[in-house]
């Protein structure tokens, strides 16, 4: 153990922010590639005569794939190499996106979309682990907030670019064009500085003695902290809503207002784009509050989730027309505010050598109970009752997320105190 060392003493500030920029760009293209299909639904649906349920499956397939592969890939990340794993995964998902351009049937496109999820399976856990090592704990939510701003940015760009490119050149070109930048950035990531793999050891009364963690200790890292359990459930409830909205808002505006997909994609993209303010703001405010109250990293997302539930209830149930869109825009800011603090919790309460695995467990839960279900849930309800009625159920899930965060906040400080404190060392080369 290298007690007393800080990340800034192990790697230069310039190197840390260069890695941050590459991680930001990769996360942005991750979400461009993941969600560009949402603004292509009308084109694909018309060509292949698909149902809304089938369209929803093209989003859900990515999350199901991530769900299956994220845990084993994240174990590899924690025990092998962060930079190599991230670079290889980015190449895989970019090539799978490019393959979507050559599909000629729904099963082929479904398979290609599933392959995208295989590549993306460990990216968020690997990137989170790297950033948690690069920057000090007291700034963790703030940095993760800035990084997670790439999610709404990539989502907005994907939604807007998809409709724009498809209107002019055809929907297949949209997949091909956005795949190229991700491949280039992935190659650059092979050359960044990585941190050394952290030994899985635990504390003892003898400070010089290293005790290797048992399999039982390993499992307890993720089952003992109650704050982690409720945090992951809350995350799932929130992403159920965000994924459903990102998937269906372009189609909603197209149907209700008769807009082209370029215009409806841009309109929906603007809502998601405003989350670029909410994510870093949420990280900054939760870290600021944490100086006075340690469990602010769970109390703040509880507050922001409840506020989001109120805003989207007003937008989807009470308002129509311009007032509804204004409410959507405000919700676009608040809807991502929970993310940085919630992600930070997954790093705060576990062993430093298991941080990627911890977030991968969060990913499994959020996709199993949230992301993979949201788009298809709305698609099924839309086929039966109409899209407007289907979307009006979403505020219930953000309110449920707020309740889970609140419950978890009562256990957070105890779980932080119980977590191992081991500093990170970076490679010399």
Instruction: List all residues 6 or more positions away from 213 whose beta carbon is below 8 Å from its beta carbon.
Output: 200, 201, 202, 351
Instruction: List all residues 6 or more positions away from 417 whose beta carbon is below 8 Å from its beta carbon.
Output: none
Q: What's the pLDDT score for residue 28?
A: 93
Q: What's the pLDDT score for residue 46?
A: 87
| Residue of 287, 380, 278 lying closest to 329 (CA atoms) | 278
Q: What's the pLDDT score for residue 209?
A: 62
**φ, ψ for residue 195, nearest 5 deg:** -90, 155
- How is domain 10-196+218-418 classified at the CATH fold level? Growth Hormone; Chain: A; (1.20.1250)
Predicted TM-score (pTM) of this structure: 0.77
Question: Judging by beta carbons within 10 Å of its beta carbon (0-12, 13-18, 19+), is residue 310 exposed, middle or buried?
Answer: middle
Within 10 angstroms of residue 425's Cβ, the number of other Cβ atoms is 17
Distance from C-alpha of 32 to C-alpha of 371, rounded to nearest angstrom: 16
Q: What's the pLDDT score for residue 4?
A: 39
Could you state, in chain order, the average pLDDT of each consecutive group of 10 residues for the chain (429 residues)? 44 86 94 88 88 84 85 85 89 94 93 90 86 84 88 82 87 91 92 80 62 80 92 95 85 82 78 82 92 93 96 88 89 91 92 86 86 85 88 93 97 90 70
Q: What's the pLDDT score for residue 208?
A: 58
User: Measured in Å, how far apart are the chain's first and last C-alpha atoms?
Assistant: 20
Q: What's the pLDDT score for residue 207?
A: 55
Helix (H) or strand (E) holding 251: helix 226-257
Q: What's the pLDDT score for residue 352?
A: 85
Q: Would you list the domain boundaries of the chain?
A: 10-196+218-418
* C-beta separation of 202 from 211 below 8 A: yes
């Amino acid at each position: 153990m290298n007690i007393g060392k800080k990340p800034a003493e192990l790697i230069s500030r310039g190197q840390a922010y260069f890695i941050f920029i590459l991680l930001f760009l990769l996360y942005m293209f991750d979400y461009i590639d993941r969600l560009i299909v949402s603004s292509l639904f009308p084109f694909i649906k018309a060509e292949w005569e698909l149902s809304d349920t089938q369209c929803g499956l093209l989003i859900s397939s990515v999350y199901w794939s991530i769900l299956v592969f994220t845990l084993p890939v994240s174990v590899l990340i924690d025990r092998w190499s962060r930079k190599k794993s991230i670079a290889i995964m980015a190449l895989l998902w970019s090539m799978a996106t490019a393959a979507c351009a050559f599909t000629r049937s729904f099963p082929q496109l479904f398979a290609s979309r599933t392959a995208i999820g295989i590549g993306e399976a460990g990216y968020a856990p690997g990137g989170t682990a790297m950033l948690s090592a690069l920057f000090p704990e007291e700034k963790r939510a703030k940095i993760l907030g800035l990084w997670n701003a790439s999610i709404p940015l990539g989502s907005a760009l994907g939604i807007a670019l998809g409709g724009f490119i498809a209107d002019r050149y055809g929907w297949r070109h949209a997949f091909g064009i956005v795949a190229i930048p991700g491949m280039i950035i992935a190659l650059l990531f092979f050359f960044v500085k990585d941190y050394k793999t952290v030994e899985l050891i635990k504390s003892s009364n003898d400070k010089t003695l290293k005790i290797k963690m048992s399999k039982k200790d390993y499992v307890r890292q993720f089952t003992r902290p109650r704050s982690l359990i409720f945090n992951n459930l809350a995350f799932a409830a929130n992403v159920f809503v965000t994924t459903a909205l990102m998937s269906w808002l372009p189609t909603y505006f197209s149907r209700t207002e008769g807009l082209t997909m370029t215009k409806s994609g841009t309109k929906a993209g603007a809502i998601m784009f405003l989350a670029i303010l909410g994510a870093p703001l949420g990280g900054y405010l939760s870290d600021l509050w944490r100086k006075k109250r340690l469990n602010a990293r769970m109390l703040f997302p509880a507050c922001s989730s409840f506020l989001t539930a109120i805003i989207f209830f007003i937008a989807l149930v009470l308002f129509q027309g311009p007032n509804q869109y204004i409410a959507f825009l405000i919700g676009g800011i608040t809807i991502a505010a929970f993310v940085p603090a919630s992600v930070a919790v997954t790093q705060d309460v576990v062993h430093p050598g298991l941080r990627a695995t911890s977030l991968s467990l969060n990913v499994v839960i959020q996709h199993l109970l949230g992301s993979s279900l949201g788009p298809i849930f709305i698609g099924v309800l839309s086929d039966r009752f109409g899209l407007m009625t289907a979307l009006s159920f979403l505020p219930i899930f953000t309110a449920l997320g707020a309740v889970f965060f609140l419950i978890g906040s009562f256990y957070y400080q105890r779980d932080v105190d119980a977590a191992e404190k081991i500093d990170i060392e970076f490679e010399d080369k």
